[in-house]
Amino acid sequence: MIAPNMATMLGFIFTNANLPSNVLQKILEIENEKTFNSITVDSDTSTSDTVLLSATRTANHVPINKYSDKRLKDFKRNVSSLMLELAQLIVIDGEGASKFITIKLEGASSTKSAKKIAFSVANSPLVKTAVAGEDPNWGRIAMGIGKSGEIVDQKKLKIKIGNFVVAENGKVSENYDEKKLKEYMEWDSIEIEINLKLGNDAFKCYTCDFTHDYIDINADYRN
Amino acid sequence: MIAPNMATMLGFIFTNANLPSNVLQKILEIENEKTFNSITVDSDTSTSDTVLLSATRTANHVPINKYSDKRLKDFKRNVSSLMLELAQLIVIDGEGASKFITIKLEGASSTKSAKKIAFSVANSPLVKTAVAGEDPNWGRIAMGIGKSGEIVDQKKLKIKIGNFVVAENGKVSENYDEKKLKEYMEWDSIEIEINLKLGNDAFKCYTCDFTHDYIDINADYRN
């Protein structure tokens, strides 16, 4: 039951930095889009999502009062990295998850479109069960892209699984070697890269596979 | 892999009526929205959907050339009924389906909104696993309504499962009897009725539950 927007989770991040709440809030909102709001277990959301970023302001430095202040560069990067780690741990802990999946969507005409397509693939039960079955079923990935309802040119489409280019310019890649790719599918962490070649916008999201344990946990929880 | 729009299916309907193709096409399109385009197994679509309505025109009557002709009333009703039966048979035959689910969405402010919310509930893995587990988990139904992104007033919301009013005006119904409702959940066909009380538009869709067999069929199909 995890597709934060925000969803079933309480996240608390503390720092001793001397930063006012408006700066913290802006950092949190921006980084949240790329971390907690970029994960999904099964597309289903919940009611009790919270991520707090709180500063004790005990660090010995002059307060920094602007989000754009260059001295915040490292701080932002570290908060982002911590939030991404926490968010990914939620996915790994998803009901019955046996594999971690990264969907990298590139070449979109807008970030909104990139996000919609990435989540359409990530939430597809057929993509998730194919990954559980360790099958490089790229037809299901193409289906997940198509059913998003976004405009896509299949003649431009490129699909990569791990380091293996599967389809390019709408055709199966000349170097496609299903046997090698099947070995890659046995890994615990699978990366699916999709390039629409329609623009410069991108979105990355994180999900997990769909296994028998997902059904056990969510169907038989009262027995 | 069935959420026609259109999806994985080939449907052929024949009649001997003396009707031109433009009338047949209009009847097909209108009835299709309420039948084949109102079913979903797992939200995933396919590439080879077809529904054909074909007339041999051998029946002995004067041709009817207008969709609005009143003499078509019975014909339309019968085509609709046949299409609904065929569409529902697809759901019953869904991968691993053990229960047939009807989602009746009423009181919406537009048909588009009604359709979006009905499919959001129908495609929720948590709703589908709860039905598989025979648990009247109406919180998951409320979640499915909420995650649609449509505007809903929870203080007006009414949720009925079978003949049992579960929640009304945003509160659990005074007559809610979980024990009785759990008995109903053991049936093969479950009806979920949602009234948003925001308008007069409605949409009905049909789906099935999510079971271990769904995972078997879609994860282990190459073993």
| Domains along the sequence of chain B with CATH | 10-92 (3.30.2330.10), 100-219 (3.10.20.340)
Q: Residue A100 forms beta bridges with which residues?
A: A189, A208
Query: What are the chain A neighbours of B210 within 8 Å (beta carbons)?
Result: 125, 215, 219
CA-based torsion, A15, A16, A21, A24: positive or negative: negative
Half-sphere exposure of B93 (CA within 13 A, CB side): 9
**Pairwise CA distance, residues A145 & A170, whole Å:** 13
Taking the C-alpha atoms of residue A213 and residue B122, their distance in angstroms, rounded to an integer, is 21
Nearest Cα neighbor of A32 from A89, A100, A113, A86 is A86
Q: Give the residue carrying structure tokens 């299709």.
A: B32
- Please answer whether residues B136 and B161 qualify as being in contact, where contact means their C-beta atoms are separated by less than 8 angstroms: yes
- Say how far apart CA A190 and CA A102 lie, in whole Å: 6
Helix (H) or strand (E) holding B30: helix B21-34
Peptide bond into B9 cis (omega under 30): no
Contacts with A147 from chain B: Cβ below 8 Å: 3, 5, 43-45
What are the phi and psi torsion angles at B217 (to 5°)? -65, -40
Nearest to B215 among A124, A147, A210 (CB): A210
Contact B218 A126 (CB under 8 A): yes
pLDDT in 10s for each residue of chain A, 223 residues: 455 554 467 889 999 999 999 999 999 999 999 999 999 998 888 777 789 999 999 999 999 999 999 999 999 999 999 999 999 999 999 999 999 999 999 999 999 999 999 999 999 999 999 999 999 999 999 999 999 999 999 999 999 999 999 999 989 999 899 999 999 999 999 999 999 999 999 999 999 999 999 999 998 877 6
Contact (Cβ atoms closer than 8 angstroms) between residue B51 and residue B6: yes
Closest residue, chain A, to B41 (C-alpha): A125
Cβ pair B130:A43 closer than 8 A: no
Which residue type occupies B6?
Answer: M
Q: Do B210 and A219 touch (CB under 8 A)?
A: yes
Annotated active-site residue B8? The verdict is yes
Pairing outcome for strands B50-55 and A189-195: unpaired
Residue with tokens 């026609």: B4
Structural contact between residues B197 and B105, judged by C-beta atoms closer than 8 angstroms: no
CA torsion angle B142 B96 B191 B201 (round to 10) = 70
**B50-84 burial code (b ≥16 CB/10 A, e <16):** ebebebeeeeeeeebeeeeeeebeebeeebbebbb
Determine contact, residues B17/B55, Cβ cutoff 8 Å.
Answer: yes
Query: Model pTM greater than 0.80?
Result: yes
Rg (CA), chain A: 19
Each residue of B175-221: pLDDT tens digit?
899 999 999 999 999 999 999 999 999 999 999 999 999 999 999 87
Residues on chain A bordering chain B, Cβ-to-Cβ distance under 8 angstroms: 1, 3, 5, 42-47, 123-126, 129-130, 132-133, 135, 140, 143-144, 146-147, 210-212, 214-215, 218-223
Q: Catalytic site residues of A?
A: 8
Contact A72, A23 (CB under 8 A): yes
Catalytic site residue from B8, B45, B111, B129 = B8
Q: Which residues of A touch B124 (CB under 8 A)?
A: 43-44
Query: Is A182 within 8 Å of A135 (Cβ atoms)?
Result: yes
Q: What is the average per-residue pLDDT within B38-53?
A: 85
CB B54 within 8 A of CB B15: yes
> Using CA atoms, how far apart are residues A164 and A142, in angstroms rounded to an integer?
16
Residue with tokens 């609005």: B68
The string of pLDDT tens digits covering residues B85-102 is 999 999 999 999 999 999
> Which positions in chain B have a beta carbon within 8 angstroms of at least one beta carbon in chain A?
1, 3, 5, 42-47, 123-126, 129-130, 132-133, 135, 140, 143-144, 146-147, 210-212, 214-215, 218-223
d(CA A45, CA A178): 35
Q: What is the mean pLDDT of chain B?
A: 92
ipTM: 0.83
**Long-range contacts for B160-164 (Cβ within 8 Å, ≥24 apart)?**
B160/B192, B160/B193, B160/B194, B160/B195, B161/B136, B161/B185, B161/B190, B161/B191, B161/B192, B161/B193, B162/B187, B162/B190, B162/B191, B164/B136
How many A/B residue pairs have CB atoms within 8 Å? Answer: 103
| B6 confidence band (pLDDT: 50, 70, 90) | very low
Question: How confident is the model over B29-45, as pLDDT tens digits?
Answer: 999 999 999 999 888 88
Residues of B in contact with A218 (CB under 8 A): 125-126, 129-130, 133
pLDDT of A222 reads 73
pLDDT in tens, A114-124: 999 999 999 99
Could you tell me what percent of chain B has a pLDDT over 90?
83
Residue A6's pLDDT is: 47
Other Cβ atoms closer than 10 A to A74: 9
Chain A contacts of B212, Cβ < 8 Å?
212, 215
Token pair 């990295």 is found at A81
Inter-chain residue contact A212 with B211, CB threshold 8 Å:
no
In this predicted structure, the answer to whether residue B223 has a pLDDT above a threshold of 80 is no
Which residues in chain A have their CB less than 8 angstroms from residue B43's CB? 123-125, 147
The reported pLDDT for the residue numbered B2 is 57
Q: Which two tokens stand for residue B192?
A: 């979920």
Between CA A217 and CA A150, with CA B89 as vertex, the angle to 5 degrees is 70
